Amino acid sequence: MGGQTNDMNQIPDVPFFANHPDGGRSMLAVYKMVVDHFTHKVLDWEELDLLSGHRPQRKVWTVRALTLLANDFGLGVKHYEPFNYRRLASEGKDYLYELYDNEEVEWYAEHSNLQALGVYLTTFLATVRPLTQQAELKDIDTMLDEGRLVSVTLDGRILNGDLGNAYHAVLVIGREGDEYIVHDPGLPAQANRRIWREQLWEAMGGEENMSEVTGFMLRKAGLRLDQYVVREKPSLSRGYAVALIDSGKVTVNGQPSKPGYKLRDADTIFIDYDEADQPEVPDIQLQVLYEDADCIVIDKPAGLLTHNKGVRYVEATVASFVRSRISHMDGERAGIVHRLDRGTSGVIIAAKTPEALSFLQKQFHDRLVTKTYLAVVPGQLNPGEAIIDMPIERNPKAPASFRVGANGKPAQTYYRTMQTGNGYSLLELQPKTGRTHQLRVHLATQGHPIIGDVLYGGESADRLFLHAAKLEINLPDGSHHQFESAVPEEFQNRVR
């Protein structure tokens, strides 16, 4: 049971995310940490549900999520579990009847995503190649030494007493002596938690354990060299990565290479670039509409990014403004609950703790937040008040934009004409769904693109005439608030 000692400086800086407030998605929170750490993409709960096939009150088999993490996110996945997925693929429920009684098998068939696994099993077996055996602590140690993050399912009651769930997942990020360093999504959520090896082994089930133990690392094979550089140095744009490679600052196995070189897992990559060389993010002052121990509400000016997009030359953002106020969260998007486009001004809320972030994001996911926007458009909409109900999809001909399309996601926008004049209309808008560029796409489709929205055919202006005027939401302390930002003067001037 003894272990090797790791220097704490070698413990990776892994983003931490708390469990969903319903307490039942610890594994999804683990996936969120893994994806953010290796790919610098932050998945919301809707995306995590889609990744895993999660539905309320239903058990989720990990086959789907692990298959997609390996194939769509470029992760190397090593999975230990004393369950024979090859027999499940070939024998179906007949194999399950050997393990469980009839009632349990029928329960799994009805209350889990078992029936939907068929489309993933073949790929899962070919790419993940699960190991049909119990995991031991030495297997966790080996995967940590390989540079993997290791998810472990266990009995949370052994770790957290009455607060714990019988089925729980944690992320092991390192070890020091006889302790593992663990991100425990909770509830209660605890980042960098120290757990004795014996305690983890007991929570896994000891010699009789049925724990699912999965190691994750970034898979290099098949990636272009420039893609790999951006993944390793997320502050860089693809163009800057290409410039580094072309200048000989990036080598493969000690030799200069080309941006399009396809990597192999055995390749050794050296990147001669220090993140510390980046210019410091400039300080900015923003109007704070409200602040407590859990969150901060800001009146964002037009032209300010919500968070950095990974370009070479950093700039001040909402995220950089709140960074000094938050705790136990890292990364360019730390604390960001939702986003406003650069050109959009108005009310935006950020979280100060992982628990507050999860609480607030759940309301956006469950569409319990009332968002009210103002926009100025040319002409007059007829009728003056209605709901636009048109699905939205990414435009394959212009991937940076979106369009109305039959294969898109459902999207509904309520609008009301508040004022007209000078050939323009001031509209009140309430999105019933939260699709990217939803308000902009819907109004452009009606023939009334927002002023300043040149991406969707709007007339040129000094700014995008879209303003987040109100945000109605419940806060973690139990209070209900409606936050407001005044109508910009330039909006009123357009319709006088």
Return the ∠ at Cα 22 (arms to 16 and 28), rounded to 5°.
45
How many angstroms separate the CA atoms of 248 and 216, rounded? 30
State residue 52 phi and psi, 5-degree precision.
Answer: -95, -20
Query: H/E element holding 180?
Result: strand 179-184
Residue that is written with structure tokens 């050109």 in the block: 343
Contact at 8 Å (CB) between 100 and 107?
A: no
How many angstroms separate the CA atoms of 354 and 195, rounded? 20
**With 0-12 CB in 10 A as exposed, 13-18 as middle and 19+ as buried, what is 260?**
exposed
34-48 b/e (C-beta count within 10 Å ≥ 16 → b): bbbbbbbebbbbebb
- The reply to whether omega before 383 is within 30° of 0 (cis) is yes
Across the chain, which distance is largest between two alpha carbons, in Å? 78
Where in the sequence numbering do the catalytic residues fall? 341
Query: Helices 137-145 and 197-204: crossing angle, nearest 10°?
Result: 120
How many angstroms separate the CA atoms of 221 and 209, rounded? 33
How many angstroms separate the CA atoms of 95 and 93, rounded? 5
Give the alpha-carbon dihedral of 383, 386, 390, 394, to 10 degrees.
90
